[in-house]
């Protein structure tokens, strides 16, 4: 499988950044080589004798993706021995776990687009999409089983948090619970947990000092929350060719993103403009909904969402203090700073 993904393109970094020190250039070259190995592993692992299983399991893989989670594992591995075979395998398993979650998310959200192509359930139907996600979760577990009990526990704990995050999003906050705090907890589980696991995996399976695990897990979880808050803003984009999904996909599915939660808060405080916009966002008419999305895109709550994302990114960088200065730390910090400004 030929891919043009690199460290810089995956993390949204400026390629010129790696024209700096020799250490930066060596790191970028080593991570890019490791990413080629991960892509080869993904290509090998996602094959099934069953015709539909084979096609459906590769569908979103071949649609693209930035491979952010594998790249983070490859990056943090350079705090140890670098990209070992174990790091490659767990990086591939982490990406397959992420892919599996997308199949399930799109069924639950009734999404019509993913990565710029019709979502899997549009092509294969809900049942096949759900079963494909199950297959991918199973394949990730098989890959990790070869790495021992430590890896199995890491995968199991991460999978549990992914499911609990989805369940908490589905059921909503309890009576009296702050909806915004509840939502941030959902993001920590649904997005932050897997990014944190990727960062931890690079440390664990490269022989790096385990003292780095705590700071890197904190970094991963917080940058994951910032990443998803940036997605909340991208969900309002008028250009599906850029975002890979239709504008307002999450809102159409009834998922309360941060801009909507902030609108609800303003409405509860008596802001009539916020109340009116909320009503238009729940309408069934496509043209009116599109107009409401455009209005929300320019609303102050969307700017506030960006500000919240920036704060989480800043906290993620602060978590890196115990990590040794050098190219790995610089790349992680720059990723956290850029993640909230991305356009896709």
Range of the domain at 58: 7-341
Residue 36 lies in a domain: yes
Residue 2 lies in a domain: no
Looking at residue 246, what is its pLDDT? Answer: 62
Residue 258 lies in a domain: yes
Looking at residue 342, what is its pLDDT? Answer: 75
CA–CA separation, 332 and 39 (whole Å): 21
Q: What is the pLDDT of residues 162-207, one digit of tens each?
A: 999 999 999 999 999 999 999 999 999 999 999 999 999 999 999 9
Residue 97 lies in a domain: yes
Residue 201 lies in a domain: yes
pLDDT band at 98 (very low <50, low <70, confident <90, very high): very high
Residue 1 lies in a domain: no
Question: CA of 176: how far to CAs of 173, 236, 332, in Å?
Answer: 8, 29, 37
Q: What is the pLDDT of residues 226-240, one digit of tens each?
A: 999 999 998 887 566
Residue 284 has pLDDT above 70, yes or no: no
Tokens 């609800």 sit on residue:
264
**Mean confidence (pLDDT) of the chain:** 90
Looking at residue 245, what is its pLDDT? Answer: 57
Residue 18 lies in a domain: yes
CA–CA separation, 58 and 102 (whole Å): 13
Residue 290 has pLDDT above 60, yes or no: yes
CA–CA separation, 29 and 6 (whole Å): 9
CATH number at 299 reads 1.10.600.10
Q: Which residue has the higher pLDDT, 117 or 158?
A: 158
Please report, rounded to a whole number, the percentage of residues in the chain having pLDDT higher than 90.
Answer: 65
Residue of 42, 50, 48 lying closest to 1 (CA atoms): 42
Instruction: Quote the number of domains for the chain.
Output: 1
Q: Which of 7-21, 45-59, 141-155 is least confident?
A: 7-21
Looking at residue 275, what is its pLDDT? Answer: 94
Residue 235 lies in a domain: yes
Segment 116-120 mean pLDDT: 84
Give the global pTM.
0.91
Residue 161 has pLDDT above 50, yes or no: yes
Cβ–Cβ under 8 Å, residues 104 and 130: yes
Tokens 């199973």 sit on residue:
138
């Amino acid at each position: 499988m030929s891919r043009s993904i690199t460290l810089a393109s995956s993390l949204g970094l400026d390629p010129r950044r790696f024209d700096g020190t020799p250490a930066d250039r060596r790191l970028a070259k080593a991570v890019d080589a490791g990413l080629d190995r991960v892509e080869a592993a993904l290509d090998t692992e996602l094959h099934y004798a069953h015709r539909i299983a084979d096609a459906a399991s590769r569908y979103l893989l071949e649609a693209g993706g930035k491979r952010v989670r594998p790249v983070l594992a490859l990056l943090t591995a350079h705090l140890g021995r670098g990209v070992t075979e174990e790091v490659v395998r767990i990086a591939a398993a982490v990406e397959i776990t992420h892919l599996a979650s997308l199949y399930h998310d799109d069924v639950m959200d009734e999404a019509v687009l993913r990565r710029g192509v019709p979502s899997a359930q549009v092509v294969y139907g809900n049942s096949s999409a759900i079963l494909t996600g199950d297959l991918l979760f199973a394949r990730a577990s098989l890959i990790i089983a070869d790495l021992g009990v430590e890896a199995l526990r890491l995968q199991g704990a991460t999978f549990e948090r992914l499911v609990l995050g989805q369940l908490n999003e589905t059921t909503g906050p309890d009576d009296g619970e702050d909806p915004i705090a509840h939502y941030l907890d959902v993001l920590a589980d649904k997005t932050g947990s897997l990014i944190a696991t990727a960062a931890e995996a690079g440390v664990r399976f490269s022989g790096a000092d385990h003292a780095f695990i705590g700071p890197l897990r904190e970094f991963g979880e917080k940058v994951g929350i910032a990443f998803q808050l940036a997605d909340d803003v991208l969900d309002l984009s008028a250009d599906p060719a850029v975002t890979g999904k239709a504008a307002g996909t999450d809102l159409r599915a009834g998922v309360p993103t941060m801009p909507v939660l902030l609108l609800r808060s303003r409405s509860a405080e008596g802001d009539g403009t916020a109340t009116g916009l909320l009503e238009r966002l729940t309408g069934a008419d496509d043209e009116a909904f599109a107009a409401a999305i455009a209005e929300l895109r320019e609303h102050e709550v969307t700017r506030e969402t960006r500000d919240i994302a920036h704060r989480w990114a800043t906290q993620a960088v602060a978590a890196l203090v115990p990590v040794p200065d050098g190219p790995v730390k610089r790349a992680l910090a720059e990723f956290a700073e850029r993640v909230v400004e991305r356009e896709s």
